[in-house]
Amino acid sequence: MAVGGLKKKAVHFGAGNIGRGFVACFLHNSGYEVVFADVVDSLIDKINSSPSYKVVEVGSEGTTENTITNYRAINSKTHEEDLINEIATAEVVTCSVGPNILKFIAPVIAKGIDRRSNDDAPLHVIACENAIGATDTLAKHIKDPRNTAPERLEDHHLRARYANSAIDRIVPAQDPNAGLDVTLEKFFEWVVDKTPFQDVGIPSIEGINWVDNLAPFIERKLYTVNTGHATAAYHGYNRRKRTVYDALQDRAIMAEVRGALMETKNLIVSKHEFEEDDQAAYVEKIIKRIGNPHLEDAVERVGRAPLRKLSRKERFIGPAAELAEADQPIKYLLDAIEMCFRFQNVEEDEESKELAKIMSENSPEEVVSKVCGIQTSDKIHPSLVAIVQRVQDDSRED
C-alpha cells in the first residue's frame, strides 16, 4: 500500500551498479515501480529497451539471482519536465550518485517537490551515499534559495521529508559484458532514520532497518567496513597486489587491517556503547566480507578518490583524529593514511592525480590543512605532517 494514496512509485537518481543492483532491487521487491534518472544516454537506452535484468548475489554459501522488472529510465539532462512530473507523483526519491553530485540533482528534485500538492503525503527522500549526513546535504541544496523560493520553505515539510541513511554492500567492478546485470555480495545493511517519517507514514521498503538514532550505525559502518576495505586496498596497491582478496592473503597487510579495525573498535565501543564482543564479531564478519574471493575487487577501484577518503569526516582522519584527542593509539590508522597519500597518479582516477599535484605544490602543513582539514591545534597534526613530509621526500627521490 502506498503512503498517502500515491502510486507506489520510486524515482532513483543514478542507474549505475549500486542503483540497479542494490537500491532498485529492494524497491522492486517491495512492489515499487522504479524510475531511474541518469545522464548517460547509452545506459538509459539500454534500460528502456530491456524488460528485465538480473541481480546476482554471491557468497561462500552459494549464488542467488533476482530478476528485476517494472522499471524505466529518464534522461534528467534532456527530459527534465518528464522527471519533474515523476517526482511530483512519486512516493519515494532515492539516489546513489556520489556525494559530490548531490548539488547537481537537487534543482530538479526541488522543482518536483514544489509541484506536489500539500494534500498528498510528502515525498520521502533518502540519499544512499557513502557519506555521513548525505540526505541532510541533499536537503540543504534543495532548500537553497536558488532551487526553492524562500516563501515556499514555510510549508515545505508538507511536500517533502528527508531521512539520513547508512548503506553497506560491496558492489565490485562488473564484467564488461554483463549488460544491465549486477553481481554483488549477499550481505547488506540499509539503516534509515525513521523519525522524519513517523508522523506521515514510513514507506514499506523491504530490507530497510528503521531506527531512531542513526549516528552509531553510520560511524560503525564507515569506521569498520570502509576503513577496513580502504586499508586493505591502499596497502595492497603499494605492495602491488591485484585485488583486495590478494592483499588479505599477505600476513603483513592482514595485520595492518586488523590493527586499524582494533583502533576504530575502541572508538566505536566507547562512543556509541556497542558491546565490545558484538563489535569484535562485526569486525570479523567485515574482514571475511572484504576478502570474498568471488568479488574480484581490484585495489585501484577500491582505492579511487583518495582526496575524499583523506578528508576530515571520512574513514581515516575521522576516527584517527578523535582517538588522538583521547590519547588512544592510532598507529595502524596512520599507516593506512600514509598508504593513501601514496596513491597518486593512478590511471583513470582524477583525484589521485589531483593529490599528486597538491603534494608537489604545497608544504606538509598546507597539505594537512587542505586535504585533511586538520589544524595545528589538533593532537593528530604533527603525525600527519610527518607522514606527508615522508611521502614528499620519497617522491623527490623517485
Q: Give the active site residues.
A: 221
- Residue 137 · residue 99 · CB < 8 Å: yes
| Dist CA 287 CA 225 (whole Å) | 8
What cell does 358 get?
Answer: 597538491
- Residue 91 · residue 10 · CB < 8 Å: yes
| Dist CA 209 CA 246 (whole Å) | 33
Burial 114-153 (b: 16+ CB within 10 A, else e): bebeeebbbbbbbbbbbbbbbbebbbebbbeeebbeeeee
| Dist CA 385 CA 367 (whole Å) | 8
| Dist CA 311 CA 318 (whole Å) | 8
User: Which helix (H) or strand (E) element contains residue 67?
Assistant: strand 62-68
- Residue whose grid cell is 583524529: 321
For the purposes of burial, counting CB atoms within 10 Å of the CB of 239, is it exposed (0-12), middle (13-18) or buried (19 or more)? middle
